[in-house]
Amino acid sequence: MEITLTHYLLVGAITFCIGVYGVLVKRNAITLFMCVELMLNSVNLTFIAFSKYRVDLDGHVFAFFIMAVAAAEAAVGLALILHIFRHYRSLDVDRASELRL
């Protein structure tokens, strides 16, 4: 059986939907963070699949850019999560709304 573009897109759509579900339902900051990363990686998979299908490098360039953004997002996100945990001794994002000035 050959793996076609449809297979890649289906896997990308399913993992993206799992990430959206996690962001909408979960209240733990680490879980939310991991769900956002899952959504970014599913978009990367879609870009790479289209790049392979069209035989050009545009998808690879976009995927590389998304990985750079994800690395920056990971650094900032983990710093925020660490601050929330130190301040509230909890990772519940509902309590993070109290961090306003």
In a domain, 97, yes or no: no
In a domain, 101, yes or no: no
Q: Given this model, what pLDDT does residue 35 score?
A: 95
Task: Supply the range of the domain harboring residue 24.
Answer: 5-90
In a domain, 64, yes or no: yes
| Rounded (5°) CA angle 65-93-33 | 25
In a domain, 77, yes or no: yes
Say what angle helices 29-54 and 58-88 make with each other, to 10 degrees.
180
In a domain, 23, yes or no: yes
Q: Given this model, what pLDDT does residue 101 score?
A: 56
pTM score of the predicted model = 0.84
Q: How far is residue 25 from each of residues 21, 31, 63, 76, measured CA to CA in Å? A: 6, 10, 27, 22
Instruction: Give the residues across from 92 on adjacent strands.
Output: 28
Q: Given this model, what pLDDT does residue 96 score?
A: 75
Segment-wise mean pLDDT, segments of 10 residues, the chain, 101 residues: 93 97 92 93 94 91 91 92 87 76 56
Q: Given this model, what pLDDT does residue 99 score?
A: 66
In a domain, 53, yes or no: yes
Question: How many domains does the chain fold into?
Answer: 1
CATH number of domain containing 11: 1.10.287.3510
In a domain, 27, yes or no: yes
Q: Given this model, what pLDDT does residue 34 score?
A: 93
In a domain, 95, yes or no: no
